[in-house]
Amino acid sequence: MKVDKSYKIAAVVIIIAAFLIFENTLLRPAPAFRYNGVQIYDAIRDLKGLDYRGFDITVHVEGKSNNALLKMEGKVTETSAGWFIINSGNAYRIVEGPMGSKDVLADLIYFDVTPRISVEAVFSPEKTGKFLFRPGFRKVMGSIAFDNARIDPTLLQQLRNLNSEFYSLNPGRIEITTYGSGFILDMKSPVSISELEGLVGRIDSVSAQTGYMYYYAGADDENAIQNVRQEMEGKGAVLVNYYKQR
């Protein structure tokens, strides 16, 4: 009995398709943080936890918008119960689960997370003249009081505006409180130093008093932790913590 050539071709196509699916789903390593759309609450919970421990997160979303397939990636700027806002290519999109009614309905959500290990170095309060952030760190958290500060209203507003401009999962992450002739800059969760130092460097004050300051660096693996710890303690850190992604 002869087998029609068309059946042979169909069989070959099915085998190739099956191999490609297997190669893409099983042979390639999947992201550690991967969620289907109905797990968006879990995704938001993990996103906040990673952010608070000093990690950088790029969020990928695959789903639909107006019944059209959509893929996007970017930084999350706000979260709520069951949805988040992502800035993708300077466009802000509201992402919800597949049964929702928002702008983007997610079927798949996954994260790219760096560094592999987040290292937190804590420094004691100090009083200084011109305040400068410590070099060699990615993020910072803590409070700084600037005494007899001469700061123009434009700069003060720019500092306040950072709450909306930053990759910020926590509303009010940066708080400014004025008092007498000075003000307090309070960073309530880790903030990117590269985005902040240019503005802080423009503050003209007689002196600055910090609280405990939390600075964040990174390590590639656990074998590097001891070296990073020694380096941080050599810079004056009174406590060094480290956090794995999971």
**pLDDT at site 9:** 52
**pLDDT at site 204:** 86
**pLDDT at site 25:** 40
**The whole model's pTM is what?**
0.79
CA separation for the pair 63, 106 (Å, rounded):
4
DSSP 23: I
DSSP 67: T
Tokens 């990673």 -> residue: 50
Taking alpha carbons only, the member of 61, 79, 205, 60 closest to residue 131 is 205
CA separation for the pair 215, 239 (Å, rounded):
11
**pLDDT at site 142:** 96
For domain 31-114, the CATH architecture is Roll (2.30)
Residue 205, phi then psi, degrees to nearest 5: -140, 160
Q: pLDDT by residue for the chain (246 residues), tens digit each?
A: 554 555 555 554 454 444 444 444 444 444 579 999 999 999 999 999 999 999 999 999 999 999 899 999 999 988 888 999 998 887 889 999 998 888 999 999 999 999 999 999 999 999 998 899 999 899 999 999 999 887 778 888 888 777 766 555 666 788 888 888 888 999 988 999 988 888 898 888 889 999 999 999 999 888 888 888 999 999 999 999 999 998
Q: Which residue type does 75 have?
A: K
Helix (H/G/I), strand (E/B), else coil: 62: strand
**pLDDT at site 22:** 42
Residues of the chain with CATH 2.30.30.690: 31-114
Residues with Cβ within 8 Å of residue 110, at least 6 apart in sequence: 30, 31, 33, 34, 35, 59, 60
**pLDDT at site 7:** 52
**pLDDT at site 166:** 57
